Amino acid sequence: MATTEAGGGQLEELRGAFSGSILEPGDAGYDDARAIHNGLIDRRPAVIARCRNTADVADAVRYARAAGLEICVRGGGHNVGGRAVVDGALMVDLAPMKGIHVDPGAGTVRVQGGSTWRELNRETAVHGLAVTGGAISTTGVAGLTLGGGLGWLMAKHGLAADSLLGVELVNADGAVLDVTAESDPDLFWALRGGGGNFGVATSFEFRLHPVSMVTGGLIAHPLDAAGDMLRFYRDAADTLSDDATVFAALVHAPDGSGAKVAAMVVFHTGDPEAAQRELAPFLGWGSPAMVQVGPMPYPVMNTLLDDHYPKGALNYWISSFTAGLSDGLIDTVVDRFETVPSEMSAILFEQFHGAVCRVGLTDTAIPHREKGWNLLLPTVWTDPADTEACIAWTRDTHAALGEHLAKRRWLNYLGDDQDASAVRAAYGPNYDRLVELKRRYDPENVFHHNHNIVP
């Protein structure tokens, strides 16, 4: 059994009481545990504390501080920036913490911090209930919720964080706090959008909503219809009810042919007849090359795009909210997509409207409440030889779109290389209050391997 240079004696003490496992370089399982979704991230923590319960997390935090080790936190391991894994740090790894308990009578669920949306959706669907999760199912509940959490149900039920009722949090002293709007309104406010800045969230309690069968799927047009389709989409999406959300994308055909297509991913949470009526204009527009839309359980809808984002593929993402969907923006994205260097990459428009936009700008730490679109460039590839070209294309495309973008960024999509101005644009008008609260709750900035709010 190896010991770390930093505080080897204490590490043996930590091992003694620990329910999970403590891994060091060379241990079986170490390499699996440090591998996250983005295959570009290849970092080697000094210690990986694979926690099984809250007491493990508290001990790990206290040990790291006593041993002078930096702390990074892994929930679902999906952040493209990869700050869940840091060279030489102690990684608080929540992956084994997957407890989920639904209280159907109260309409709530308590979920531990290592769970994914796929796991949570499965448990809540048994009761005909759901909470807004991400647009795909493999992301972690923890990181996604702490950063806001956009997804298919946000027009109807708000962001993931908008349904949050409480968080069990291990703070920088290793103390365990039960944070709710009643117990600590300021900290609860900060946890809804402040990312990993305030401690390790060991579990979350959400309010659930009745959701069972939904209607969803993909409508794909040949790329030469892309400009017209995006103009149609801009106008048609504007009148949708809270039941419906439609994302638009320039992608490659799912049949593996490599053909570039313009697509609309439709979603409707009302009954099938209402869905058919409201989605009819999208289904009826133009001459689609492919239509795969129909009723399905919500957890299935949440997996429709999963295959496009395989674990271990190489990822570099940039996103920004847009200033509307002007003709200039549409022409530029269509033009840029012609030169995309990888068949796994896309240009995606995520629609914000409905319940997500009825929450006040400063009611939670998430300031992105305007009706409109978030533009995402999720560049994905597998051959390391393509890395330079893929990163350059993403940056150049973002730069080319500059005049059409708003100065607002979605926290969950920020990369590792984005500067302080991008972090400010993610926290927006809530940044100053977050700094004040960071000074109160984590004055030493123990939790700084995140999109950091500097105290």
Ligand X SMILES: Cc1cc2nc3c(=O)[nH]c(=O)nc-3n(C[C@H](O)[C@H](O)[C@H](O)COP(=O)(O)OP(=O)(O)OC[C@H]3O[C@@H](n4cnc5c(N)ncnc54)[C@H](O)[C@@H]3O)c2cc1C
Cα separation, 305 vs 313, whole angstroms = 15
The only residue of 309, 316, 352, 393 in contact with ligand X, by rule CB under 6 A:
309
149 contributes a contact to ligand X by CB under 6 A: yes
Element (H, E) at 308: none
Q: How far apart are CA 83 and CA 85, in angstroms?
A: 5
Burial of 288 from C-beta contacts in 10 A (0-12 / 13-18 / 19+): buried
Q: How far apart are CA 388 and CA 160, in angstroms?
A: 34
Q: Does residue 40 belong to the site contacting ligand X (CB under 6 A)?
A: no
Q: Please state the closest distance from residue 277 (CB atom) to ligand X, in A.
A: 26
Shortest distance (Å) from residue 92 CB to ligand X? 8
Task: Establish if 147 lies at the interface with ligand X (CB under 6 A).
Answer: yes
In whole angstroms, the minimum distance from the beta carbon of 198 to ligand X comes to 8
- Residues in contact with ligand X, counted by CB under 6 A, come to a total of 37
Does residue 144 touch ligand X according to CB under 6 A?
yes
Contact mark string toward ligand X, 323..362, x via CB under 6 A: ----------------------------------------
Q: Angle at CA 34, nearest 5°, toward 29 and 40? A: 135
Residue 377, interface with ligand X (CB under 6 A)? no
Residue 252 CA to residue 240 CA, distance in Å, equals 26
Considering the rule CB under 6 A, would residue 136 count as an interface residue with ligand X? Answer: yes
Nearest-angstrom CA–CA distance, 395 and 108: 42
In this chain, which of 34, 50, 52, 78 binds ligand X, going by CB under 6 A? 78
Specify the amino acid at residue 408.
Answer: R
Q: Is 200 near ligand X (CB under 6 A)?
A: yes
Q: In this complex, which beta carbon is closest to ligand X, that of residue 113 or of residue 288?
A: 113
The H or E element that residue 200 is part of is strand 200-207
Q: Looking at 91, 150, 248, 261, which residue binds ligand X (CB under 6 A)?
A: 150
Give the three-class secondary structure for 228: helix
- Provide the terminal-to-terminal Cα distance of the chain, rounded to the nearest Å: 38
Q: CB nearer to ligand X: give 215 or 319.
A: 319
Rounded-to-integer distance, Cα 210 and Cα 297, Å: 12
- Which span sits near ligand X by CB under 6 A: 1-9, 73-81, 218-226, 437-445? 73-81
Residue 142 interacts with ligand X (CB under 6 A): yes or no: yes
Residue nearest to ligand X (CB): 143
- Between 81 and 288, CB nearer to ligand X: 81
H or E element that contains 11: helix 8-17
d(CA 374, CA 141): 21
Binding stretches for ligand X (CB under 6 A): 36-37, 73-80, 83-84, 94, 113, 134-136, 139-140, 142-144, 146-151, 195-196, 200-201, 309, 412-413, 449-450
